[in-house]
């Protein structure tokens, strides 16, 4: 795998570990791995049966929003937004 920034996770073992952590915690945080200065958090959008249908993501400028602020202020709103879609999906 080719790194896009110095922060890009490219080691296959570490990547598998990170994916397992994301699965357990129910969200993904990407901190300048795709592009320097871009920090984002994503959550799954699930059906009423718990099947993942899509994902929702919010990206911020890393210099303006800290990891802590992203987790404390943005993640809960993002989770509520994803959860609010469940009744509308009807699947």
Residue 4 lies in a domain: no
Strands 52-61, 28-31: pairing is unpaired
Number of domains in the chain: 1
Position 81 scores a pLDDT of 96
Task: State mean pLDDT over 51-68.
Answer: 96
pTM assigned to the model = 0.87
pLDDT at 60 over 90: yes
**Residues of the domain holding 70:** 12-89
Residue 23 lies in a domain: yes
Handedness of CA 38, 36, 26, 75 (dihedral sign): negative
Residue 55 lies in a domain: yes
Residue 45 lies in a domain: yes
Residue 36 lies in a domain: yes
DSSP label of 63? T
Pick the closest to residue 72 from 49, 50, 41, 35 (CA basis).
41
Position 91 scores a pLDDT of 62
Residue 6 lies in a domain: no
Residue 5 lies in a domain: no
Task: State mean pLDDT over 69-79.
Answer: 97
CATH number at residue 38: 3.30.450.40
Residue 54 lies in a domain: yes
**In this predicted model, what pLDDT tens digit does every residue of 1-57 receive, in sequence order?**
899 999 999 999 999 999 999 999 999 999 999 999 999 999 999 988 888 999 999
DSSP label of 5? S
DSSP lists the bridge partners of residue 41 as 29, 58
């Amino acid at each position: 795998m080719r790194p896009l920034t110095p922060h890009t996770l490219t080691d296959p073992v570490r990547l598998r570990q990170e994916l397992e952590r994301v699965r357990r915690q129910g969200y993904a945080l990407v901190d300048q791995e795709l592009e320097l200065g871009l920090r984002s958090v994503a959550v799954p959008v699930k059906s009423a049966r718990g099947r993942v249908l899509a994902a929702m993501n919010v990206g911020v400028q890393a210099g303006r929003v800290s990891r802590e602020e992203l987790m404390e202020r943005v993640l809960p709103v993002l989770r509520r937004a994803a959860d609010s879609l469940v009744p509308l999906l009807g699947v």
